[in-house]
Amino acid sequence: MTLIVQKYGGTSVGSIEKIGRVADKVAAQAKTGDKIVVAVSAMSGETNRLIELAQTMSLKPHARELDVLVSTGEQVTIALLSMALNDRACEARSYTGSQIRMLTDNAHGKARIKDIQCDRIRSDLDAGRVVVVAGFQGVDEDGNITTLGRGGSDTTAVAIAAALNADECQIYTDVNGVYTTDPRIEPKARKLDTITFEEMLEMASLGSKVLQIRSVEFAGKYNVPLRVLSSFEEGEGTLITLEEDNVEQALISGIAFNKDEAQLTITGVPDYPGVASKILGPVTAANIEIDMIVQNIADDGTTDFTFTLQRSDYETASKLLTQVKDSLGAKKVIGDVEIVKISLVGVGMRSHAGIANTMFDSLAKENINIRMISTSEIKISVVVEEKYLELAVRTLHAAFGLDSDAASKSR
Ligand code: ASP
Ligand code: MG
């Protein structure tokens, strides 16, 4: 017997017709004898609509009430899907987050799951029913409704799969898997059959928005086999696995990029202990997240200090840095918002030298100047001018044998 948790995202349940199609699919699979739990999102656009409603009602909607409001989107889809399943002679029951007791902390709008009570789900499954659970929502210890953050239905599905020890957690969405890079930038991008949790985390945090990052962390931690696949097309999708199970073993699994970056530099900083913290302190105190940080050796007693941050924080951070510059007696503050970060991601990097050099060499041949470089065990990132984004991604995609036509040769 196989126990599967499936999650259908907003676009997959975006209309009555589409919910009907999901019901056809689930009912057909249930007939094969599989036990199925389905987690659903709100119909596409619905969560945004509810948030807008709240903002029209109140300048500063209370977080508790906002959760009461936005959680209704998912309540609609669980009911509709269960009706559709029952009509197809596939017995189904819907549950809200609080009904199954998806217990979370009380951080409204970004709650974390603490515990799931699976008794009701288990007894329904044993009775041959499909269980339909509202994604994205939970309940805190005092019975308040909470939500898990945008895209949180992915995490609902993974958490249920972990709690039930399911054979697989399948995330049905509008793309048919995880790609080597964004096909809108490189049409030769190729769907991956497998990717490791670690790589997926890097890809997700670097801006490929297939899965909520937290769901990947959760799946990795509890070792839940996670598969991303299309609701609309047949296919195996992409399986996210532990490294040992990964048969693909390419050097590089994918190229991620982030356009939402800006760069700030403070030059001529006197070099003494505590300077770095004096520079970043005010920025962090303003709740601005820093990404890459580079500081060089001071040769003449002063150093340059550069970091990247989200573009939307640039103006604020730049003002703060100008104040810091004056108080430290540094030379000047320079910055740029027209930059992008491009990263090679691959667990294969661990055991192979020379990847960084191939990367830098390929970019040099295209005359693309690298502004910053940072590396981690399974990732090399460079910052380049935004106008080079497409050229750089395509160049690297080809250089590392990721192009769809070169795929068979490199593997
Ligand atoms: N409906 C929520 C959102 O739009 C949760 C989800 O779809 O995963 O973010
Ligand atoms: Mg989503």
CB distance 276 to 340 below 8 Å: no
Q: Could you say which ligand is closest to the alpha carbon of residue 47?
A: 1
Tens-digit pLDDT profile for residues 146-182: 999 999 999 999 999 999 999 999 999 988 899 999 9
Domain that holds residue 65: 3-174
Q: Is the CB of 153 under 6 A from ligand 1?
A: yes
Percent of the chain with pLDDT over 90: 85
Q: Could you say which ligand is closest to the alpha carbon of residue 210?
A: 2
pTM score of the predicted model: 0.86
Q: Could you say which ligand is closest to the alpha carbon of residue 149?
A: 1
| Angle at which helices 72-87 and 63-70 cross, to 10° | 20
Tens-digit pLDDT profile for residues 77-129: 999 999 999 999 999 999 999 999 999 999 999 999 999 999 999 999 999 99
From the number of C-beta atoms within 10 Å of its C-beta (0-12, 13-18, 19+), residue 385 rates as middle
Q: Please indicate, yes or no, if residue 116 is contained in any of the structural domains.
A: yes
Q: Please indicate, yes or no, if residue 117 is contained in any of the structural domains.
A: yes
Q: Please indicate, yes or no, if residue 267 is contained in any of the structural domains.
A: no
Q: Please indicate, yes or no, if residue 385 is contained in any of the structural domains.
A: no
Tens-digit pLDDT profile for residues 122-143: 999 999 999 999 999 999 999 9
* Among 48, 76, 133, 153, residue to substitute to test ligand 1 (most atoms within 8 Å of Cβ): 153
What's the token pair of residue 215? 């769901």
Q: Is the CB of 11 under 6 A from ligand 1?
A: no
Cα–Cα distances (Å) from 265 to 280, 296, 382, in that order, read 12, 12, 16
Q: Is the CB of 400 under 6 A from ligand 1?
A: no
Q: Please indicate, yes or no, if residue 87 is contained in any of the structural domains.
A: yes
* Among 136, 155, 160, residue to substitute to test ligand 1 (most atoms within 8 Å of Cβ): 136
CB distance 38 to 131 below 8 Å: yes
> What is the pLDDT, as a whole number, of residue 247?
58
Q: Please indicate, yes or no, if residue 197 is contained in any of the structural domains.
A: no
Q: Is the CB of 97 under 6 A from ligand 1?
A: no
- Residue position matching structure tokens 């667990």: 347
- Residue position matching structure tokens 């006197």: 270
Reported as a pLDDT band with limits 50, 70 and 90, residue 249 is low
When the pLDDT of each residue in the chain is averaged and rounded to a whole number, the result is: 93
Q: Is 258 left (phi over 0), alpha (psi -120 to 50) or beta?
A: beta
For ligand 2, the distance from its centroid to the CA atom of residue 177, given in whole angstroms, is: 13
Q: What CATH number has the domain bearing residue 47?
A: 3.40.1160.10
> What is the pLDDT, as a whole number, of residue 221?
93
Give just the sign of the alpha carbon dihedral 150, 218, 168, 136.
negative
Atom of ligand 1 nearest to the CA of 136: 5
For ligand 2, the distance from its centroid to the CA atom of residue 154, given in whole angstroms, is: 7
Q: Please indicate, yes or no, if residue 68 is contained in any of the structural domains.
A: yes
Tens-digit pLDDT profile for residues 279-323: 999 999 999 999 999 998 888 889 999 999 999 999 999 999 999
Q: Is the CB of 152 under 6 A from ligand 1?
A: yes
CB distance 329 to 275 below 8 Å: no
The residue among 203 and 66 whose pLDDT is bigger is 66
Atom of ligand 1 nearest to the CA of 149: 9
Neighbours of 128 (CB within 10 A): 11
Percent of the chain with pLDDT over 70: 96
Distance between CA atoms of residues 238 and 214, nearest Å: 18
* Among 47, 51, 102, 156, residue to substitute to test ligand 1 (most atoms within 8 Å of Cβ): 47
Which protein residues have a CB closer than 5 Å to ligand 2 (ion)?
9, 151
- DSSP class of residue 398 equals H
**What dihedral angle (degrees, nearest 10) is formed by the CA atoms of 95, 100, 103, 109?**
0
DSSP helix/strand/coil, 369: coil
Closest by CA to 267, choosing from 309, 298, 291, 308, is 298
> What is the pLDDT, as a whole number, of residue 352?
81
Go through the chain and tell me how many residues it has.
411
Reported as a pLDDT band with limits 50, 70 and 90, residue 366 is very high
Buried b vs exposed e over 166-175: b needs ≥16 C-beta within 10 Å? beebbbbbeb
Q: Please indicate, yes or no, if residue 61 is contained in any of the structural domains.
A: yes
Count of domains for the chain: 1
Residue 351 has pLDDT above 90, yes or no: no
